Amino acid sequence: MLLLRWFTSKTVRHAVDMHKHVRKLVRAQCDLLSAEAISNVTKPADELKQALAAAAKPEDLEKCMQALEDAANKNLRPYPDASMRENVEVFLVAIAVAVAIRTFVLQPFKIPTGSMQPTLYGITHENLLTGDEPPPSISTFQKFREMCFQGVSYYELTAEVDGPVTQEASLRSVFPMFKRLEFGLGNQRHSKIFFLPPDDLASRLRLDYNREYKKGDTVAYIKVRSGDHLFVDRLRYNFRRPKRGDIIVFATKGIQGLPQDLFYIKRLTGMPEETIQIDHTQHLVVDGWRLTAADSGFENVYSFLPYRPELDNNQYLGHVNQTSAMDYGRSLAHLFPDETAKYPVRPKHYMAMGDNTLNSLDSRDWGDLPQGNVIGCSYFVYWPITSRFGWKSK
């Protein structure tokens, strides 16, 4: 009944809020107040509570609230800088809620490499200097728009003196979110500060050491596309086990052959106590059963075309064993040297592989991973806004 009256009466809402607030102050100051002061406040508080329970008239509630306010002002200790304390309390609660959500529900994650392309993209770049043609002219507004919505950034280096490149580029942090790129050209050390550049920007620029530059020439000009940023669902696997075909995120801690402080994202391919093979047609064989595009999560992985070297490697190629990888000039599946090799997944372990198998360090090389390392699954790509924006659980 009180709930209904709370919705229909402003006075009731005010009385309920006042009672809760005074009770909260009494609990916070119970070690500072005398027993008499506590009694002087709790008595009118109880009377207000009884009036609410008895559905008292608004004028009676007003009298009880006035009595409680008078008692509180007389007996409770005022807080110095009350508004500041309240703001700090709200701020700390907000931080606690955000940390709880990040730890137990949704965690932001950035795709660093191209191992899951083209399902999920890592950082890629494009060289805008082609032959002897001048670099393209791109307006500041277009650069800003592409940075905000598409995660695209442009990095341009210009010669300040005549001469060749004499020192390789290096990247150093100077302020939070700002880094300085330095390189030598002619007899001068060049430097330029960028906002949130990729950690491997220096290697992506690929400076030409065999060319003589004139002052004002463009030394390097690349277009960098940010990796996909997504939310990882950390709640789902508390209620069910991961399934084959899920895109999982796992910690590398305890996995031999991997850095011990990172998180990887791969597709779950092998379940506990299964035996895995990779045949010559670039398909997984699980306990003698060959996976195909009809299996959930592998619709695109196995819809591949023959490899063409004139195209980039960011295309689906199924799953390749070491023999097939060597045909493409790669060596990345040491546990699966050929189609006869079998790998038994240990109990309470999984196997995980990237979709872009020519550019993926995965279970084909370092084996299975403990179930306890899995922290969640891919959930939603929130930036940049491309064709991959949206739900991404498969």
- At 250-265, the pLDDT tens digits run 999 999 889 888 999 9
CA distances from 338 to 31, 279, 308, 342 (A): 74, 7, 22, 9
Domain boundary among 176, 197, 225: 225
List of residues 6+ apart from 296 with CB closer than 8 A: 243, 244, 245, 394
Indicate whether 178 and 240 sit together in one domain: no
Share of the chain above pLDDT 70, in %: 95
- What is d(CA 248, CA 100) in angstroms, rounded to the nearest whole number? 21
**Under 8 Å between Cβ of 109 and 251:** no
Would residue 94 count as lying in a domain? no
The alpha helices in 242-292, defined as continuous H runs, are none
pLDDT digits (tens, 9 = 90+) for 207-218: 888 889 999 999
Indicate whether 221 and 239 sit together in one domain: no
Would residue 250 count as lying in a domain? yes
What pLDDT shows up at residue 132?
67
Would residue 115 count as lying in a domain? no
What pLDDT shows up at residue 328?
81
Indicate whether 202 and 298 sit together in one domain: no
For the four alpha carbons of 242, 233, 359 and 317, in that order, the dihedral sign comes to positive
CA distances from 376 to 96, 250, 266, 370 (A): 21, 7, 11, 13
What string of DSSP letters covers 158-183? E-SSSB-EEEEEEEEEEETTEEEEEE
**Under 8 Å between Cβ of 312 and 259:** no
pLDDT digits (tens, 9 = 90+) for 332-360: 899 999 999 999 999 999 999 999 888 89
pLDDT digits (tens, 9 = 90+) for 76-116: 888 777 678 778 888 898 999 888 888 889 999 998 888 88
Residue 379, domain CATH: 2.10.109.10
Over residues 280-301, mean pLDDT = 91
3-state class percentages of the chain: helix first, strand second, coil last, to nearest 5: 30, 25, 45
Site of tokens 């990796």: 227
What pLDDT shows up at residue 303?
78
| pLDDT at 169 > cutoff 70 | yes
Indicate whether 185 and 71 sit together in one domain: no
Three-state SS at 75: helix
What pLDDT shows up at residue 350?
98
What pLDDT shows up at residue 318?
86
Report the 10 Å Cβ neighbour count for 4.
Answer: 9
Over residues 141-145, mean pLDDT = 91
- What is d(CA 15, CA 65) in angstroms, rounded to the nearest whole number? 7
Number of structural domains found in the chain: 3
| pLDDT at 315 > cutoff 60 | no
Indicate whether 31 and 176 sit together in one domain: no
Domain boundary among 43, 75, 107: 75
| pLDDT at 129 > cutoff 90 | no
Domain with 36, as residue range(s), is: 2-75
Dihedrals phi, psi of 39, to nearest 5 degrees: -65, -40
Indicate whether 345 and 291 sit together in one domain: yes
Report the 10 Å Cβ neighbour count for 160.
Answer: 17
What pLDDT shows up at residue 84?
82
The chain-wide mean pLDDT, for the chain, equals: 89
- Identify the weakest region by mean pLDDT among 185-189, 291-295, 298-302: 298-302
What pLDDT shows up at residue 279?
93
- What is d(CA 96, CA 270) in angstroms, rounded to the nearest whole number? 37
What pLDDT shows up at residue 206?
87
Indicate whether 258 and 233 sit together in one domain: yes
| pLDDT at 173 > cutoff 80 | yes
Would residue 95 count as lying in a domain? no
- Binned at pLDDT 50, 70 and 90, residue 313 comes out as very low
Q: Look up residue 50 and give its amino acid.
A: Q
CA distances from 47 to 35, 51, 56, 58, 83 (A): 18, 6, 11, 14, 29
pLDDT digits (tens, 9 = 90+) for 22-31: 998 889 888 8
Indicate whether 257 and 384 sit together in one domain: yes
Indicate whether 16 and 143 sit together in one domain: no
Would residue 90 count as lying in a domain? no
Domain boundary among 58, 75, 92: 75
Per DSSP bridges, beta strands 289-290 and 390-391 are unpaired
What string of DSSP letters covers 1-37? -HHHHHHH-HHHHHHHHHHHHHHHHHHHTTTTS-HHH
Would residue 111 count as lying in a domain? no
List of residues 6+ apart from 326 with CB closer than 8 A: none
Indicate whether 170 and 306 sit together in one domain: no
Q: For residue 208, what is the DSSP state?
A: -
- Identify the weakest region by mean pLDDT among 126-140, 180-194, 201-215, 368-382: 126-140
- Identify the weakest region by mean pLDDT among 50-59, 153-162, 236-245: 50-59
Would residue 379 count as lying in a domain? yes
Q: Using alpha carbons only, give the angle 136, 137, 140 rounded to the nearest 5 degrees.
A: 135
Would residue 9 count as lying in a domain? yes
Q: At what angle do helices 58-75 and 35-53 cross, to 10 degrees?
A: 170
- Binned at pLDDT 50, 70 and 90, residue 308 comes out as low
**Under 8 Å between Cβ of 228 and 111:** yes
Q: Look up residue 48 and give its amino acid.
A: L
| pLDDT at 42 > cutoff 80 | yes
What pLDDT shows up at residue 314?
46
Indicate whether 128 and 144 sit together in one domain: yes
Indicate whether 220 and 248 sit together in one domain: no
